[in-house]
Amino acid sequence: MTGEPKTPDKFTVINELARRRCFYWQSYEIYGGVSGFVTYGFLGTKLKQNIEKKLRELFVNKLGVLEIESPVIAPSKVFEASGHVGHFKEPMIECLKCKRRFRADHLLREFAEIKESEAEKLSLKEVKEVIENRGIHCPECGGTFGEPKYFLTMFKTTLGPYSEAVGYGRPEAAQGIFVEFKHLYEMTREKLPFGVIQIGHALRNEISPRQGLIRLREFTIMDLEFFFDPEEPNCFILKDFENETLRLVLAENKLHGSEEIVEVAVKEALEKGYIKAEWQSIFMALAKKLLIDLGVPAEKQRFIEKLPWERAHYAVQSFDQEVYVERWGWVEVSGHAYRTDYDLKRHMQFSGTDMRVFKRHEKPVETEQIVVKPLMAKLGPVFKAEAAKVAKMLSEADPKEVEVSIRKNGYYMLGKHKVLQEHVEIIRQKIKERGKRFIPHVVEPSFGSDRLVYIALEFAYHVKDGRAILSFPREIAPVQVGVYPLVTKDGLPEKASQIYETLINEGFIVECDETGSVGRRYARADEIGIPLGITVDYQTLKDNTVTIRDRDSWKQVRSRIERLPELLHKYFRWKVDFEDLGQSFER
């Protein structure tokens, strides 16, 4: 590609490396490739699995969150209820002269002073009428507009071969959790708070996905829905996180055109009202931890609050976690939305299934209720045919108002009907409430798995003495150990393959390489980020020791072969220092 710059940027270099060393590449290349789809090779797949494992450690295992797997395709009802059909379908309008496309609702807001919430309700025909009546022209070139059309960013399909039933590919995994809420809640023995996570593919028919792993049409999403009682929003593990600092860009500052980063402890962010839900602050702190574990230093991370019109339709507050990358600057890696009871409420309306949970009061609450009981024996003769209607109106009226009026005036006017004291009996009733029903609130951290893979690669990548090295944190490295005979003769290769076998049986991800010189093999290993290299040399034949080489410092230590499994477990699981793996070795 001659159009490429002489010194390619990190994104380009990483994509080349990813392709060459089997991390990932664009799919369907033999047919010319299709943008927005990617295939992971064996190193990429492993790296992605390790990253997801890391997320599970932090968000799933320790918090007792439950993981489920639901279908990618859903009947249209699901996404009508969730509001996606309405919100993913943007009316677009094209200028006939300069061919630029605009969002029709944005134009209406700007030039016809129609509020966004109202503009959304307009049909295409109405949009067209407003554009014509107001004489709105292209703001760029003054040309006239063509027919407004919907652009749907969900993948649409039909369910069954001859069916008219519409289905959609899910644009997020969250709905798969919400629709199963009742069942999941019962299975967890009806306790709040509780969280459910789902890691799986999602589909969005992006207009122009052109940023490698950053924007895909089919991607892996990790949606965690955490349900809690809005009356008891306190997080019981807040203490563990309250001093963790977060770097926030607040909406109020954004309004004044500032992207100033406010660095505050979780505790302070809650006290000052920067973050509305306690649980959300915990997930943000965990998200920061996850990224640090993936190799992104805190100063390259921030959480940017979304302005009301930038937010998703379901959220009352949301922050995007962003990471600073070389090519594009700040890039979103996770979203943290306070979805309130929006989704469950909508599914309750659309499906008719009661999504409320029952909360038992500690003590039954006794309340006194005034009941106005119509005495039909008296009402009948007076109101005749109207009697039933009057009784019904009476039951809908405010009993307190009725009582006050009758006591004061001796009657109560129900429209044109005059109800006298003798027509009713006013009873004070004690009612025992054992609990109440409500819809839980939800905070949602949502990660893009593929973006994390790219971020991990970009932050691991550096060049030492002209060689590319991927310095992955040891827990996410796709290959853990390389085993090398120093030279390929005198029985060294045989010894190396024995060690290889042993380590494989111990459950390590190991690679054995005997081609070319040992220096070349080290270089290749560094390039795919293998943290440790074990070299069999002539000393090995004498005393059964090998050298262990550190990817990042290129230092070597010497240890006995029998101790390797134990030492490597310590290194990968308990994170002991490299220097503690053996005696320092100098050639």
- Which of 120, 293, 341, 527 touches RNA (CB under 7 A)? 527
Task: Give pairs for 568-573: CB < 8 Å, separation 24+.
Answer: 568/480, 568/481, 568/503, 568/506, 568/508, 568/532, 569/506, 571/474, 571/531, 571/532, 572/474, 572/475, 572/480, 572/508
What is the pairing mode between strands 245-249 and 301-305?
A: parallel
Report the site for RNA in 197-236 (rule: CB under 7 A): 204, 206-208, 210-212, 215
Evaluate whether 79 touches 168 at the Cβ level (below 8 Å): yes
Given a contact cutoff of 8 angstroms between Cβ atoms, the answer to whether 313 and 82 are in contact is no
* Residue of 547, 549, 524 whose CA lies nearest to 536: 547
**CB nearer RNA, residue 104 or residue 424:** 104
Structure tokens at 11: 């994104």
Residue of the chain from 71, 75, 99, 230 that contacts RNA (CB under 7 A): 99
SS3 readout for 248-310: EECHHHHHCCCCCCEEEEHHHHHHCCCCCCHHHHHHHHHHHHHHHHCCCCHHHEEEEECCCCC
Tokens 């005059």, located at residue: 418
Quick one: which of 222, 198, 223, 219 has its CA closest to 209? 219
Q: What is the CA radius of gyration of the chain?
A: 32
Q: What is the DSSP string of 115-176?
A: -HHHHTT--HHHHHHHHHHTT---TTT-PPB---EEEE-S-EEESSTT---EEEE-S-SHHH
- Binding residues for RNA restricted to 362-401, rule: CB under 7 A: none
Out of 228, 522, 572, 578, point to the residue binding RNA (CB under 7 A). 522
CB of 429 to RNA, least distance (A): 47
Regarding 427 and contact with RNA (CB under 7 A), the answer is: no
Chosen residue from 394, 518, 557, 568 binding RNA by CB under 7 A: 518
Q: Which is nearer to RNA, 115 or 432 (CB)?
A: 115
Minimum distance between the CB of residue 114 and RNA, rounded to whole angstroms? Answer: 16
Which CB, 178 or 522, lies closer to RNA? 522
Count Cβ atoms within 10 A of the Cβ of residue 135 and give its class: 0-12 exposed, 13-18 middle, 19 or more buried. exposed
Interface positions, 295-334, toward RNA (CB under 7 A): 310-315, 327
Under rule CB under 7 A, residue 542 binds RNA: no
Restricting to residues 485-504, name those near RNA by CB under 7 A: 486-489
Subset of 347-366 contacting RNA (CB under 7 A): none
* 156 binding RNA? (CB under 7 A): no
Candidates 45, 76, 153, 405: give the one binding RNA (CB under 7 A). 153
From residue 167 to residue 186, what is the string marking binding to RNA with x (rule CB under 7 A)?
----xx--------------
Task: By CB under 7 A, name the one of 62, 428, 436, 467 that touches RNA.
Answer: 467
- Name which position in 48, 339, 495, 549 contacts RNA (CB under 7 A): 549
Q: Which is nearer to RNA, 116 or 562 (CB)?
A: 116
Q: Which of residues 74-93 bind RNA (CB under 7 A)?
A: 84, 87-88, 90
For the bound state, the minimum distance from the C-beta of residue 522 to RNA, rounded and expressed in Å, comes to 4
Phi, psi of 446 (to 5 degrees): -140, 120
The residue (of 198 and 556) whose beta carbon lies closer to RNA is 556
Q: Whole-angstrom Cα distance, residue 249 to residue 320?
A: 10
Per CB under 7 A, the segment of 101-109, 231-239, 437-445, 454-462 that binds RNA is 101-109
* Piece in contact with RNA (CB under 7 A), picked from 26-34, 183-191, 341-349, 358-366: 26-34
Q: Which range, of 176-184, 362-370, 421-429, 459-467, touches RNA by CB under 7 A?
A: 459-467
